[in-house]
Amino acid sequence: MSRLQPLNSARRKDIMIHSLLVFLLPVLAKALDNGLVRTPPMGWLAWERFRCNTDCKNDPDNCISDRLFRTMADLVVSEGYAAVGYEYINIDDCWLDKERSYTGQLQPDPVRFPYGIKDLSNYIHSKGLKFGIYEDYGNYTCAGYPGILGSLELDALTFASWDVDYVKVDGCYSLPRDMDIGYPEFGYFLNRTGRPMVYSCSWPVYQIYAGIQPNFSSIIENCNLWRNFDDIQDSWSSLESIIDYYGNNQDSIVPNAGPGHWNDPDMLIVGNFGLSYEQSKTQMAMWAILAAPLLMSVDLRSIRPEYKAILQNRKIIAVDQDPLGIQGRRIYKHKGIEIWARPISPLYQNYFSYAIAFLNRRTDGTPSDVAVTLHEMGLVASGGYRIEDLYEDVDYGILTPQTKIKVKVNPSGVVILRANVQPSYAPTTPYDPFRTGFPAVNRNSFKKKRSIEIIS
């Protein structure tokens, strides 16, 4: 057994004060008031899986084309994704013609989008879904197609005329320092159209790359969501790097999230080639803890049933879509074991419910056990918590803060629990955020097949 050495009481108190403030800051943050994405957006996005494949002659089934997006819209509905909340069908780069029209308007590639963007938008809307599009605050998009610089108002009006619901604006071929003016300016033109359009920005990530400290107060006021870090790639190492970035920088990242304004760690790659089954479960659970947009980038024609089930897990989606909109934090990290916690509804008096993710970063080939009481994780409501395993779909009933659980976590896997706070009918002492401890990590074998064990 290995145990994290306890911190002294003063240091522990400092950490708990800081953690409590960071959890509560998103509730107070000023944000873009366009009434959209009060919970993180959900949908399907082309980029990670289909990239900039424009070869419709030799690869007609997988090229960026009208056909691809209509097919995916059909499957989002017919395969049950829409029923659990996925609603946006989003084009990414490479939909454009290389030149604007003679009137200066953006136009799609005429071969790959023969009916035009408005017709595709109408088709997606006819399915009860919403339509998203891509552009770039630069002279060109990242793939070399026309950017919006010099045509901000015209392009906003064009998107509105196509009944676009979601606009992602990248940042290639532009100066990062200009983004402090440029992104708000384009957002202003989007809002002036009168068409409600979610505004997804790449503003902070390009400034971070350039060594500029982003003005998150302005970003929150002007954007509905934004990228902070690298593009996700189809690999476990890429996913780990994103998890590390959000954990290592959580003090500056977490306070910016809330209803209508979200940190975006990038697409869901569940069901592609680079993640194992356990790693795929990890991404879905961690994105829910991070209050992240759930934008699938996968071929829905060939996804295997077990990966489809991960993407359609209603209970984990409910965590992601929690109306409080508070992003979770890493509360423990030691020897490859991490615990992440997200405050969620319902509340009782001044106590949150929580989603708790136990993440095993080890690759030594055997599951690891984590033994911890609810109290040690900060779950201290005297009425206890109803504990449910969201992947195993097991309800463990109401457990008191003093109850110890032992969680079995597979290598590069996750166990995610929901802890719903329960009313207390006995006199309670005031909530003390300083009373917390740290979990023990051990490798004892389990006597049960379930992912957690209640230790009397």
pLDDT in tens, the chain (456 residues): 333 333 333 333 333 333 443 344 333 334 456 899 999 999 999 999 999 999 999 999 999 999 999 999 999 999 999 999 999 999 999 999 999 999 999 999 999 999 999 999 999 999 999 999 999 999 999 999 999 999 999 999 999 999 999 999 999 999 999 999 999 999 999 999 999 999 999 999 999 999 999 999 999 999 999 999 999 999 999 999 999 999 999 999 999 999 999 999 999 999 999 999 999 999 999 999 999 999 999 999 999 999 999 999 999 999 999 999 999 999 999 999 999 999 999 999 999 999 999 999 998 899 999 999 999 999 999 999 999 999 999 999 999 999 999 999 999 999 999 999 999 864 444 433 334 343 443 333 223 346 778 774
**CATH number of this structure's domain 31-320:** 3.20.20.70
How high is the pLDDT of residue 1? 31
Distance CA 23, CA 328 (A): 8
Hey, where are the domains in the chain?
2-26+328-455, 31-320
Q: What is the pLDDT of residue 34?
A: 87
Cα–Cα distance between 129 and 153 in angstroms, integer?
26
Neighbours of 350 (CB within 10 A): 8
pLDDT at 33: 65
3-class DSSP state for residue 404? strand
Nearest to 375 by CA among 415, 355, 405, 334: 405
Count CB-CB contacts under 10 A for residue 191. 17
Q: What is the pLDDT of residue 291?
A: 98
pLDDT attached to residue 130: 98
Closest Cα to residue 401, out of 417, 383, 415, 416? 383
Are 2-26+328-455 and 31-320 in the same CATH fold? no
Q: What pLDDT, on a 0 to 100 scale, did the predictor assign at position 30?
A: 40
Cα 281 to Cα 210: distance, rounded to the nearest angstrom: 34
| 414 DSSP assignment | E
Is residue 340 within 8 A of residue 328, CB to CB? The reply is: yes
Tell me the catalytic residues. 170, 231
Amino acid 450: pLDDT? 64
Who contacts 112 (Cβ-Cβ below 8 Å, separation ≥6)? 54, 56, 63, 64, 65, 66, 95
Q: Which DSSP letter does residue 7 get?
A: P
Q: Which CATH class is domain 2-26+328-455?
A: mainly beta
Q: Where are the alpha helices (DSSP H) in 194-327?
A: 203-209, 216-222, 236-248, 250-253, 277-289, 305-311, 314-320
